[in-house]
Amino acid sequence: MLTSLRKIALCIFSFFTVITYPGITAAKPYENYSDFLNEIKNITIDYTNAYPVTEYFLTRDVATISLDSGIVYLCKPINNRRCLAVFIGKGTLMFEPPIKVEQDQLERFLKTKSLNAAFSAMLLFCGDSTVNEIMNNNLRVKAVKSKDAEMMIDNFIEYESNHEKTAFNSTISKTLLEDESNDIFYTYFDMDDYEDLFFCIDSYEEEEVTLLRGEWYPVYGNMNEDINQFHFMGENPEEISYDSTRGKNNEIDIVKHIINCTINDKLELNCTDSLVIATRKNGLIWLPLELFFELNVISVKDADGKDMEFYKGEKSPILWVKMPHVYNAPDIFSIKAEYSGKMLERYGDYIVLKSSLGWYPSYGFYERTLFDLTFRTPEEYAFVSIGDLVSESTENDVYISHWITPYKCMIASFNIGLFTRKEFKVEGCSPVEILYRTTDQWKAVAEDAQLSLSFYSKWLGTLPTKKFYATELPAGHGQSFPGMIHLSSGAFFSQSKTGWEESFVSHEVAHQWWGNSVDTRSYRDTWLSEGFAEYSSFMYTQMVLKDNEKFFKFLSRSRTEIMNLRKSFLGSGFEQGPIALGHRISSSKTPGDYSLIIYQKGAWVLHMLRNICIDLNTLKEDVFLNIMKEFYNKYKGSYASTRDFQRIVEINTGLDYSWFFDQWVDDTKIPTYKVATKYTQTPEGKYKIRVRVKQENVPPTFKMFVPIAIFGKEDQVVRVRTFITNEVCEFDLPLIPFEPDKIQFNEFESVLCDYDDESWD
C-alpha cells in the first residue's frame, strides 16, 4: 500500500511549482538569534489563508501522510517565509522502517512493524516549498478560529523549546536563521490511538529519518524521544543498512582547540578557546556549538579580533555564533570564545567537577581533534590534564601548566583537588601516577591501575601516551580520557568481596584501548567501547588476579539481570531492545537498559565469541586473543564499526559470522534449552551418549555453538562443541572411553541462555 501511495504522491509533486505571493517580501538571514526566538515563540495562524483538502498526500522517504479530509491552516510568515502549517481533520500516517532492527523497535513501542494509523491534527514545518505547494494546489478560504489548531501551535512550542523557553529546536532554528532552503521536514501528529508522534527528516543528523513519540516529564514538561532512526531509503531499499559514519553530515570540522583556562581561588573558570574550523558544506552563516549550560559567554571574536554576534540562552547548552560572512567548503577560519562560570564546587576537602565534558565549545558528537591547553590554577591544588605536559611553572601562588595532545582526541578533560600524588613504573608501558584524597584503599586502586595497564599493553599493544594519570573523582561514576581516568571515590573507600572495585578500575583503564584509541564509528557501535571495556575488566580479574570464582559470578549475575529484565510476578514489562540501538536503548520506558544491554550484554557477546574460538582439547585461546589484538592495532587512532569487528573475526576464523552478530547484536532473542541425555555401553567397552536439546523462546532458525563436557569418576574429561538449532535437536556424541559420571551442557557459561536438565522420557 505504501508503494502505491508513494507513486501517487510523486506524480502529484512532479507538477508543483514554487510560487510567490503578494505581500510577502524576500527573506534574508536573521541578524541575531533573539529576533528569531521571539518570532517563532509568538507564531500565530493566518486564518485568511486556509485550504480545504481531500486525499492530499505528502510523501517523504518511507512515510506517506494522507490528509484524507480537513483544512490546512497556514501560519503567518516567519521572516517573510511560509514554512509552517496546521492540518485539522482526518488523516492517516503510514510508516514502515526499512531495516529489521527498526521494525522490531517500532513493534516494541507501538505494537506494529508497519504503522497505518489515524490522526486528527498535524503540524508541518518544512525547509522546502511544501507549504507553497499546498497553497498552489488547493483553493483558499477564510476560516474561523480553531482551538485545535491553536493548541497544536502551543504544543509545538512546548515540545521544541527548552524548559526556560530560551532556546529552540536546533535544526528548525538553523533553517530559519540562515533562511536556508533544504530538505528539513518536521511533522507533529495528534494521533487517535497513540500518544503524540513526530516524523522528521533532518539532513544534519547522523541518521536522517526519525520517528519520535511525545512524553510528559514532571520537571521538564512535554518532550519527545525517538522510536526509530535510520538513513534515507534511497533508490534501492535493499542496499540500506544501519552502518553510519559519525559526523558525515557535519557542516564543519574543528581542527584544533587552543584553550587558556584560569581557575581562581573560588574555583571559578574563566576561559578563552580559539577554535580553528574547517568548513565542510557551503552556505555556513550560523554555527551551533555546545557548551555547559551554566557557563556564560562573554564574547566571541573573529580572527581579526572583531566582535561576532552570538547567543546562548539561560540554562541552554547551545551557543549560536553568526559568521561575519558566508563560509563555503573548504574554507578554514578561526573564532575565539571567552566564557566563564562555576563548574567546580568544594565540599570539605573534595572538589566536585559538575561536568567533565562541556567545559569548552564543541561541535557534534565529540569528533577527534587536537588540543593545546594552558591552565592557571591555585598552587594549593594538584592538577592534571589530558595530553603531554610540555611546560610548568609557578608565579605568585599560581601553577601554570601547558599540555599538548600529540594526536587527535575525541574529548579533553582535567582534574583538580587536594590530592596526594604517587608515581609508579609499569612494565612494558608508560608510568602511572595516582592522584587521590581518600586514603583507605588507594594502594589497591593503584595496584589495579598498574596491573591492568600492563596486562592490556602486553595483550593488545602499547598506548601513545608518555604518562598515565588515575585520579579520584568525588562522584558515583568513572570516565576515561586519553592518558587520564576519573575514578569514583567509592573505589578508594572500600574493597568489597564482590570484586566490583578492581573491575571498575580495570574497566576505565581498558577504555584507553576501547573508546579512546579505537573509537566507535556510530552510536550503534557503542558496545565496542563499553562492552569491550567491561569484558576486558572481567578478563583482568580472571587472567591477572587469577580469580575464576569472581569472573563467573560477574557473568552469572549479569545473565540473571539480563534474563529477568522487567519480569515480575505480574508478568513481563517493556521488552528490551538490541545492542545495535546504542544510546537509544535507554528511554523513559527503559531507563536502566543502557548499562545492562550495552555494557553487560555487550560483554557477554565477547564471552560467547571467546568460547566459540577456544580449543576444547587444549583450552588454548590464541584465536580470540589475536582477534582482539588485531582489531585494536588495525583501528587504533581511528573509528571502527561492528561490521569492521565482524570482518576481523571472520578473517581469523575462516568462517561466516553474520548469523552470530545478527542474533546477538541486532536482535534480542535469548534461548532456553531443555537438555536430556542418556548413554549406553558398546560391545567394545566404549560409551555412546545420546543428547536431546529442546530450544525455546527463539525462532527454530536460531543457532549456536554450545560446548558439552563429559566427566569421569577418575578426573577424566572430554569436551565436545555442538551446533544447536531447530526446535528439537537430537544427536550422538563421539564415543568416549570411560563411563560418564557427569555431563555438563554449556560449560564455562559459554552461551547467554537459560537451561534445565530433564529426563529423556
pLDDT tens-digit map of 693-709:
999 999 999 999 999 99
**Which residues contact residue 367 at a Cβ distance below 8 angstroms, ignoring those fewer than 6 apart?**
246, 247, 250, 253, 254, 410
Burial code of 390-421, b = ≥16 C-beta within 10 A, e = fewer?
eeeeeeeebbbbbbbbeebbbbbbbbbbebee
196 CB-side CA count, 13 A: 19
Mean local confidence (pLDDT), 71-79: 96
Of 603 and 250, the one with more pLDDT: 603
Cα of 676 vs its chain's centroid, Å: 42
Mean local confidence (pLDDT), 574-580: 92
pLDDT of amino acid 457: 97
pLDDT digits (tens, 9 = 90+) for 139-167: 999 999 999 999 999 999 999 999 899 99
CA distances from 493 to 362, 392, 444, 484 (A): 35, 32, 10, 20
pLDDT digits (tens, 9 = 90+) for 314-369: 999 999 999 999 999 999 999 999 999 999 999 999 999 998 889 999 998 768 99
Residue 520: φ, ψ to 5°:
-85, 140
Q: In whole angstroms, what is the distance from residue 740 CA to residue 235 CA?
A: 60
Q: In whole angstroms, what is the distance from residue 384 CA to residue 207 CA?
A: 37
Domains belonging to the chain, first-starting first, are: 2-239 (no CATH), 246-418 (2.60.40.1730), 532-664 (no CATH), 672-757 (2.60.40.1840)
Q: In whole angstroms, what is the distance from residue 245 CA to residue 523 CA?
A: 9
| Residues across the chain | 761
Percent of the chain that is helix, strand, coil (3-state, to 5): 25, 35, 40
pLDDT at 223 over 90: no
pLDDT of amino acid 574: 80
Give the pTM: 0.92
DSSP assignment letter at 362: B
Q: In whole angstroms, what is the distance from residue 274 CA to residue 334 CA?
A: 7
pLDDT at 25 over 80: no
Q: Between vectors from CA 650 to CA 645 and to CA 653, what angle results, nearest 5°? A: 125
Q: What is the mean pLDDT of the chain?
A: 92
pLDDT of amino acid 9: 34
Find the range with the poorest average confidence among 102-116, 220-234, 250-264, 643-657. Answer: 220-234
Mean local confidence (pLDDT), 611-633: 98
Mean local confidence (pLDDT), 288-298: 97
- 104 confidence band (pLDDT: 50, 70, 90): very high
Q: Is the peptide bond before 330 cis (omega within 30 degrees of 0)?
A: yes
Mean local confidence (pLDDT), 385-389: 97
Q: Is residue 663 within 8 Å of residue 669, measured between CB atoms?
A: yes
pLDDT of amino acid 27: 64
Q: In whole angstroms, what is the distance from residue 30 CA to residue 285 CA?
A: 10
Q: Between vectors from CA 435 to CA 434 and to CA 436, what angle results, nearest 5°? A: 115
From the CB of residue 228, how many other CB atoms can be counted at a distance below 10 Å? 26
Of 510 and 239, the one with more pLDDT: 510
Residue 420: φ, ψ to 5°:
-90, 140
pLDDT of amino acid 236: 46
